[in-house]
Structure 1
Amino acid sequence: MTKNKTLAAWLAFLGGPLGLHRFYLRGLGDLLGWALPIPTALGIYGIQRVQQFGQDDKLSWLLVPLLGFTIAGCALTAIVYGLMDRQKWNARFNPGADAEAAPGATSWLTIGAIVVSLMVGTAVLMASIAFSFQRYFELQVEEGRRISQ
C-alpha cells in the first residue's frame, strides 16, 4: 500500500497528538505512535487542573505545556512531511514504488497542510512557552518575597 504525503501531513497536523500519522506510515506496531497520547493526555489533565484549581496550581503549569509542545512537534512533523521532495518521500515510505510515483507529489492540499501547521504550531508553541515562563517567574517572585520577609 502506497503512503500519500498529503494525507500524512494532514494526519500529523490533525491527529498527530494521538499518533495517527505514525500509525498510517509505520503501522500499529510503532511504539512512538502509542506513546504520543501520553503527553497529550497529561496536558489535557493540566488544563482541567487549571479550570478546577486556578492558575496558581503548580502542577498545572508543568502539565499544560506538554500538550502544547506535542501539538507543536506534530505540526513541525507535518511541515517536514509536506516539504519532503517526491523522490525522498517515495524512497522512504513507498520503497517498492517508482521514485516519481504520485503519492509523493506535492499538491495545493499539501501546501495548505504546511501553511496551517506553521501558523497553528507556532502559535501553540509560543503560548506554551509564555504560559510556562510566566508561571515559573511568578513562582520565583513569590518565593523571593517569602524569603525577604
Structure 2
Amino acid sequence: MKSKTVAAWLALVGGPLGLHRFYLRGLGDMIGWLLPIPTALGLYGLERVQEYGQDDVLSWLLVPLLGFTFAGCCLTAIVYGLMAREKWNARFNPSLPEDAEPGGTHWGTIFAIVAALMIGAGVLMASIAFSFQRYFEYQVEEGRRISQ
C-alpha cells in the first residue's frame, strides 16, 4: 500500500534525491535516479559561490538548478496531497478498492501541502531572483566593457 501522506512528505523532504519516486515506483524508476544530478550540480554551484563569490558566472547558472529541482519536488508534493482518494488508489494502489484508506487525506497530508507551498514558493522566488539578478548584472558589465 502506498500512502499519499508518506509520498507527499518524501517529495518535500527527500524529493531532490528521488525518494518519493522510489517509494511509489520502485528502484527501477529512471527519473528517480536522474533527480540527484541537478541537485548535485546546484550544490556544486553553492560551493563555487562560497569559494569564488557571486561574480562567478558558472555559479549563477548552477545554483538555480538546485532551487528549481527543489521547487519542482514541492510542487509534486502538492499534487500528491491534493489528488483525490479514488485517483490515488487507482494509480498507486490498483489492488485496493477505490475508497481505501492509503489514498485518504489526513492532517499530516495537509501539513505537507502547506509546508510544500510555503517552502517551494520561497525557494522558487529566491532561485529566480538570484539567477536574473546575476544575469542582468553580467549583461550590464559586458555592455560597459564593450562600450569602453
The TM-score normalised by the length of structure 2 is 1.00
> Alpha-carbon deviation of 1:148?
1.0
> Which residue pairs with 1:148 in the alignment?
147
> Which residue pairs with 1:124 in the alignment?
123
- Counterpart CA distance in 1 for 2:128 and 2:101 is 39
- Counterpart CA distance in 1 for 2:119 and 2:62 is 20
> Alpha-carbon deviation of 1:147?
1.1
After TM superposition, the runs of 4+ consecutive aligned structure 1 residues lying more than 2 A away are none
> Which residue pairs with 1:50 in the alignment?
49
> Which residue pairs with 1:99 in the alignment?
98
- Counterpart CA distance in 1 for 2:84 and 2:145 is 57
Q: Secondary structure at the match of 2:57?
A: coil
In angstroms, what is the RMSD of aligned CA positions?
0.3
2:46 is matched by which residue type in structure 1?
I
Q: Secondary structure at the match of 2:90?
A: helix
1:130 is matched by which residue type in structure 2?
A
- Counterpart CA distance in 1 for 2:69 and 2:44 is 14
Alignment of 1:1-149 (within 5 A): 2-149=1-148
- Counterpart CA distance in 2 for 1:14 and 1:145 is 43
The number of residues matched between the two structures is: 148
Deviation string 1:113-146 (CA, Å, 9 cap, x unpaired) is 0000000000000000000000000000001101
Structure 2 alignment gaps of length 5 or more: none
- Counterpart CA distance in 2 for 1:40 and 1:147 is 35
1:137 is matched by which residue type in structure 2?
F
Identity of aligned residues (%): 77
- Counterpart CA distance in 1 for 2:146 and 2:67 is 33
1:15 is matched by which residue type in structure 2?
G
The TM-score normalised by the length of structure 1 is 0.99
Structure 1 alignment gaps of length 5 or more: none
